[in-house]
Structure 1
Amino acid sequence: MLLRFSEEEFALARTRAELAGLAVGAWIGEAVLDAAHGEHRAVGLPDLLRLHADVTLVAGLLDNSERADQVADLLRRLDRAIDSAVLAAGTAR
């Protein structure tokens, strides 16, 4: 099988693979198998946890700034998204 991607598409695939801790080919294979089994995960729990860690780091850097409230709100929204992902993963089993 031969797959062709534009530079932009491949860059996106590479970024998503890096976020998942996988090689590009492994990530594509996982995405294909998920789709074949009817699993359409736009964002996975590992993605959300990494993003949460990044935002927490930024929150520490902005602790006394005017944007601290916006970052705190973003963390609350991420917490809700993580809770939803965990709940969905539990019901999918």
Structure 2
Amino acid sequence: MDPYQELKVGDKYSKKDLSTLLDQPNISLVREGIYNLKNSNSSLFFVDLEKKGKESRFHFDDFFEGDFFIGIPKQPNILKVQK
């Protein structure tokens, strides 16, 4: 299984979709953060891009810039993950 063949960066997938497409039943247990695929050298990075109705401390400026996903939180940290 090659996630690069199954998924498109930036598209939305449910955890159920990902479990099926990637043959990874434990994906449903992941709430947020990084999930390392069991049968691949790939990892998934889970973020919640929907900010409506969330506390302001969860509002980040999240966007794709070229091959990178940028997440700028209210704190002075910057999260940068390559696609």
- TM-score interval for Structure 1 and Structure 2 normalised by the shorter chain: 0.3 to 0.5
Q: Which has the larger radius of gyration?
A: 1
Higher relative helix content: 1
Return the structure number with greater relative CO, CA threshold 8 A, min gap 6.
1
